[in-house]
Structure 1
Amino acid sequence: MDLHATYPALADLRARAQRRIPPFVWEYLDSGTGKEATKARNRTALDRIGLMPSVLHGEVTPDLSTPFLGDTLPLPFGISPIGMSGLIWPGAEGHLARAGRDHNIPYCISTVATQSPEDIAPHLGPHAWFQMYPPRDPEIRRDMLARAKAAGFTTLILTVDVPTASRRERQVRSGLTNPPRLTPRLLAQIATRPAWAWETAKRGMPHMRGLDKYTDAASEGLSPTAHVGYLLRTAPDWDYVKWLRDAWDGPFIVKGILKPQDAEKLDKMGSDAIWISNHAGRQFDGAPASIDALPAIRAATKRPLIFDSGIESGLDILRALSLGADFVMLGRAFHFALGALGRTGVDHLIDILAKDMAANMGQLGAATLTELPPAFDLTTNAPFQMVQKPPRRAEIS
């Protein structure tokens, strides 16, 4: 079967995923919070970014490789963490970890995954990232770091933009709770999705296996969009960041940054990279589009920058790189691919993104990612105010 003939774009995988996973699971994956204005802004802002085509370069064979954190990766994108991935498609974390290994790109697992670090250890490649929602108890912190390191995770990601549970009204209306309670309404939805139901039946209903050691999963009194992780976590501060930086032996990245001032401070505190994100519109409905925050943060720090939120194509990846990002991560997109075709969908999405990047680089006359043209605003034809991206180095002192 020619997957590119049937599913040539992420939109095709998204549509198939919606048909294959239960509606309450779809609402969890696809929804934002509030009126979903931030989620919409992410898309609108990316569509506003133009790149000027350039012709008469002869044949261009694009090189998609990029240096990042002391290594050269074959592609400038990786797989973002999503909590409860195994709810979206059974065995999701294992599928995604193996895809990251096989394609030599980063895979980042969530603290609130449905498989534990120990479960995933046999499937990890060299670019295994562990995303931490910050535990309040220092002993749990130490133990979680030790488990991640022992399992083979090399890079620690601290997510700082979830100080409280967001309301996620679409998710609430769907009837989904964490952990899922199989009401007659949800069971009726599951009955209409036999592939998902069969795979889930073989594995059992998903829960946050990595937290079993720290909680008995009692979640009474939590809001429908919260989960047992909220019984353990705290809202981190700058002292917390310093504690983790000192405690973790390896690359350390802080995720959820939108303000240049925060990026400057993290730079001084030794964050090896800074991850620009508005949590894909799932946390706060009054936030700017992540891509709109990128140029000012690029101007504020020489640290490598990771970008996420709203990426749907290879062209979107090029847009983020042209505005100063060093690397791009995708979360929802990979889970749409999983829901559509399982592990085959993940491999196909990677191929879609790579081919789309190469096709667009040919239009731009760019043989390498360093040759991308400056971005401009398609609504005004004005260039974005940019600073030159600093030379990429294995380490920045």
Structure 2
Amino acid sequence: MDPDLRYPELSDLRARCRRRVPHFVWEYVDSATGREAVKAANRAALDTVRFRPAILGGEVTPDLRTRFLGKDYAVPFGIAPLGMSGLIWPGAEQTLARFAQGARLPYGLSTVATRLPEEIGPLAGDMGWFQLYPPRDPDIRRDLLTRAQKAGFDTLVLTVDVPGPSRRERQRRADLAIPPKTTLRILWQTALRPEWALRTLRNGTPRLRLMEGYLKLDGNAPSTAHAGYLLRAAPDWDYLHALRREWDGHLIVKGVLNAEDAPRLRDAGVDAIWVSNHTGRQFDAAPAALEMLPGVRAALGPDFPVIFDSGVETGLDVLRGLALGADFVMLGRAWHYALGALGARGPSHLLHILREDMVANMVQMGISRPADAAGRRLLREL
């Protein structure tokens, strides 16, 4: 059957993903923290943004090609970094990197991925972004930057909105650990999902391979907790300045919600600011990221590059982000729902869904370029 008939929107992929991955994996990819109020607020904020439809404007042929940070992309959205991607679907990092290179959209590899930058960089080619959770040790930081650059990553994404671990209660109830524990409960959940289990067996147990490589433990297998000690999740401004001196490619700061921080980041030499609330996975009292986007844009002026994510599910949501001030939009969970649902075929189908939805809505709005969503068709701003 044509996947466009069976899975015409992301919710269909999400439902199928839930049926195909073990319960503890589902809780990892789908959960937020606390009562998940921010996750709901992200969706509510997006639904608030509406546009005036156009009439008698003649035929419109939308063109989704976008130039961002000096590079041409096929669409104005990309694949956000998601930690332990290979836990969600075995081989996820390799699959998404290859797909991104072929489709011409950016792919973000996390510091806490299950594969190494040396493996993924050549697959992503010139579409690769490397996301940095900042190491405590400056020597490790410099080595990571060197490795990422040699692997082909020319854009660095510093994540600044994880000053400490969140509780993520759904994951705790699921007894989730990295690597997964060998308990009867986990084994039973895994046995119920044989395709995921067999693929995981072929790809190896998901681990934080990059950070574990810096551990020196006498005879003991490294754990996520041990690897976590190497990271300094709460960098300060001095750390940012040092990073800017050491990285000569594009530098993006991810996790910005306060407009007053934006000019200072720009003045520190940051090349783009990423407005995000970590999709509600860190702080359940944060505002919806979309609510903060117009203020950040106003603080920076019209020309400074701005990225938006958090709760994006449709092509119309991409247009909403662009209309309220973003130059580019990223999605994380969505690509992994697609992988869990359809395996290697999932990302291309999700790209089709998002593209078609953008085109259909742009025709209704009478615009030919995504950036034009910010014009007179915007009916309501948050």
State TM-score, norm by structure 2.
Answer: 0.95
1:395 is aligned to: none
Distance 1:166 1:375 in 2: 39
Show CA shifts across 1:47-77 (max 9, x none).
1111111111121110111121012221000
Distance 2:347 2:315 in 1: 15
1:75 and 2:75 correspond: yes
Which amino acid counterpart does residue 228 of structure 2 have in structure 1?
Y
Q: Which residue of 1 aligns with 2:367?
A: 366
Kindly indicate whether residue 330 of structure 2 is the aligned counterpart of residue 317 of structure 1.
no
The residue aligned with 2:4 is 4
Q: CA deviation at 1:374?
A: 4.5
Cα distance, 1:177–1:347 mapped onto 2, change above 3 Å: same
Counterpart contact for 1:277–1:308, Cα < 8 Å: yes
Deviations 1:281-304 (A, max 9, x none): 000000000000000000001420
The alignment partner of 2:61 has SS state of coil
In structure 1, runs of 5+ residues without a counterpart are 378-382, 386-397
Q: What is the distance in 1 between the residues matched to 2:338 and 2:75?
A: 18
Distance 1:229 1:186 in 2: 23
Per the alignment, residue 237 of structure 1 pairs with 236
Give 1:390's aligned residue.
none
User: Corresponding residue for 2:247?
Assistant: 248
Offset from partner CA, 1:110-165 (integer Å, 9 cap, x none): 00000001121331221210000000000000100000001100100000000101
CA distance in 1, matches of 2:59, 2:376: 21
How far off its partner does 1:216 sit? 5.1
RMSD, matched Cα:
1.6
For this pair of structures, how many residues does the alignment match? Answer: 376
Deviations 1:28-55 (A, max 9, x none): 0000000000111000110111111111
SS at match of 2:249: coil
Distance between the aligned counterparts of 2:340 and 2:266, measured in 1?
Answer: 38
- CA gap 1:172/1:277 in 2 versus in 1, 3 angstroms: same
Matches within 5 A, 1:79-158: 79-158=79-158
Alignment of 1:212-361 (within 5 A): 212-215=212-215, 227-234=225-232, 235-302=234-301, 303-361=304-362
Q: CA deviation at 1:376?
A: 5.5
- In structure 2, C-alpha distance between the alignment counterparts of 1:53 and 1:219, rounded to whole Å: 59
Identity between Structure 1 and Structure 2 (%) = 56
SS in 2 for 1:50: coil
TM-score scaled by length of structure 1: 0.92
Q: Secondary structure at the match of 1:158?
A: strand
Determine the C-alpha separation between the residues in 1 that align with 2:208 and 2:64. Answer: 36
Closer, same or farther: CA 173–358 of 1 in aligned 2, 3 Å: same
